[in-house]
Structure 1
């Protein structure tokens, strides 16, 4: 079984989420998938090109949500254990579990790029 099953989304750092949302939807023709307040002061905005399952998460430069590539995995705990065994520095020593979101964890690839694994669910968004 493959540890990585799909690309869910890629973060795009933006100075202004509303201006970016307007650009990606009205200029580029993307569709709004998610626009929610994750917690006080932290908003998650995701757009998706028509027909695509991978989204673009428009994150403010100072967001607490990591700028990362979000990947699907069938078993987040198994992926977490495998990443740890490979000697990769994990940002989360245990899985993050939030109500309404799949189990997830984040880490950095050898080049310093952020990655997040989210356990596959029927939801195609970044969670």
Structure 2
């Protein structure tokens, strides 16, 4: 058995053009909580995550040339409720749809970052 050199994913950097707008989307639409919001030489060190989840998303505005990320996979216990919530906030999405590997929904944040949400 190989040695384990990495024990967890702590933070994923999500490029955003406007941290305030991103903060509103992730907290008000997706229901994430703020984990850190501290001054940083290039803006704010602003992290969010679903309640009770250790890994965070860093909403970083200091990478203007960074392309949006895609394929970050999240989980939801109720994809229909999530779809309704996204629709209420004018967020375009695909699904929920049954796939051979399970049920999923796709959406993008206001900055073009793409997410896959699997039924948990």
Q: TM-score range by the shorter chain?
A: 0.3 to 0.5
Q: Which has the higher strand share?
A: 2
| TM-score for the superposition, normalised by structure 2 | 0.48
Which structure has the bigger radius of gyration? 2
